[in-house]
Structure 1
């Protein structure tokens, strides 16, 4: 920027007529012409200084704002990291909740099935209970009818009890008579026999004693011998009118004829190994048929058995 002083009127002629040397009076206006320039320079310096101060203040503010922004960004970054961690935890929790929900759903389905089954069982039990109640009511009604009938039969029952008592007394009397009939007699070998059974009741009483073995027989007149216990018997003839009979018996490979024997007569013989006699007792005689039993000792004689073995 340049400043040119404006010309003074009438001075052009003087300057053109004669040149004059510079003097102190003419240099004063030149100095005064630099004052505005200096003032402008001062203003510019002041402006630049103010601008520098403003720029520095603005720079400080910017730095402070940048630091604050960085701090804010750092805080926001930390917050963002915390939020990210929370989101991760939330995702994990959500996954766990989904697993728990699936498990709960399955459990709920199983529970609903069990509830349905329990309801069905309860309905079935209720039905059975109703049927049982109806059946019980029917049975109670029938029982009441039977009780009424029983009350009506009490009189006849008392009569029946009296009759049973009479039958018991009669049975006791028959037992006493049976005991009196079980007598010992002399057999055909002249040996006192065992007790003689005249009836089946007598025979059962003898069996109950357990002293001897008893085998019943129903022997008919046939061509073959009949095995009775350890014996073989063959009926030869019968005399129904006189109540006599004749038979052959085979014991220990020996055949013995017992001729004209009477009913209830003990037919005696000895078997090897036994000290007591074996007896045949005929209780009934028919035409070509006899009915009776064989009484054999239970205890073998050790000496007789040893002698047979030797």
Structure 2
């Protein structure tokens, strides 16, 4: 019995040791599993927290991106509008410059034309002045020639007349000489007597074919008939308290009408005619 007991005790001792080791190993495994589970729980919590942070960051990033896009669009619109305004303003300035340049060119062309016109006018004036000088010289020559054509003849009263004008131009020369008064007249047959200076003239007859005429001269309360007188013939008579020689000359004879002039001394009568 004691040998068997000793043998049993010798067998159970190692077995207990194995069991104890196994138990310790199991406890250790359980403890390690528990610790591992805790670590896994903590890691999972951290992963969840990290995922949430990622979600939050993603949302913030998307919000930021949205704000950036909105800001970019607004800025782009503003820049686009500003660029458009700049382009419009630039085009307006260019158009104004073109208009101003065109206006200046037109004004320059107009001024050039005016200068050319003035130059032409000046040249024309110079030409006209030269022409006037030539005309004056010609007129002087004509006057000199006309003066030589004026002549003196014996009138119907047997007195040497003054210079006789046969037309209007020659009469103007006599007027400018200023030696006598010259009054022009036109007489109609059958009309009332025409008053010239202090005498009256009345046409009685006009023969255009033969260049002859007859008229009455009323002077100093008496009437004298000057009958059958000729063209450019000095018709003479005396007039006034201190008798002075008057002359009349007819230069034009037409049907029932004669035209000419009355010559009176400077000291005699009025220088105007009346009907």
Tell me which interval the TM-score lies in, with the shorter structure as reference length.
0.5 to 0.7
Post-superposition Cα deviations, 1:95-135, rounded to whole Å, max 9, x if no partner, equal xxxxxxxxxxxxxxxxxxxxxxxxxxxxxxxxxxxxxxxxx
Aligned to 1:239: 207
TM-score normalised by the chain length of structure 2 = 0.52
Say if 1:181 and 1:198, in contact at 8 Å, map to a contact too.
Answer: no
Aligned to 1:203: 171
Aligned to 1:253: 221
Post-superposition Cα deviations, 1:216-242, rounded to whole Å, max 9, x if no partner, equal 111010242222221111111111122
Aligned to 1:61: none
Q: 1:291 aligns with which of 236, 259, 269?
A: 259
Distance, in Å, in 1 between the alignment partners of 2:178 and 2:150 is 15
Q: 2:156 aligns with which of 174, 188, 201?
A: 188
Specify the structure having the higher radius of gyration (Cα). 1
Relative to 1, partners in 2 of residues 1:197 and 1:142: Cα closer, same or farther, differing over 3 Å?
farther
Structure 2's unaligned 5+ residue stretches are 1-106, 269-275
Q: CA deviation at 1:215?
A: 1.3
Q: CA deviation at 1:159?
A: 5.0
Q: CA deviation at 1:266?
A: 0.6
Q: CA deviation at 1:262?
A: 0.8
Distance, in Å, in 2 between the alignment partners of 1:297 and 1:256 is 20
Q: Report how many residues are paired.
A: 163
Relative to 1, partners in 2 of residues 1:166 and 1:226: Cα closer, same or farther, differing over 3 Å?
same
Matched, 1:264 2:223: no
Post-superposition Cα deviations, 1:157-178, rounded to whole Å, max 9, x if no partner, equal 5654554444333212211122
Distance, in Å, in 1 between the alignment partners of 2:137 and 2:191 is 48
Q: CA deviation at 1:209?
A: 2.9
Distance, in Å, in 1 between the alignment partners of 2:231 and 2:147 is 19
Structure 1's unaligned 5+ residue stretches are 1-138, 301-310
1:214-233 pair list within 5 angstroms: 214-233=182-201
TM-score normalised by the chain length of structure 1 = 0.47
Residue aligned with 1:224, SS: coil
Q: CA deviation at 1:194?
A: 1.3
Say if 1:274 and 1:299, in contact at 8 Å, map to a contact too.
Answer: no
Distance, in Å, in 2 between the alignment partners of 1:184 and 1:269 is 17
1:140-155 pair list within 5 angstroms: 145-152=113-120
Q: Which has the higher contact order (CA 8 A, sep 6+)?
A: 2
Say if 1:280 and 1:292, in contact at 8 Å, map to a contact too.
Answer: yes
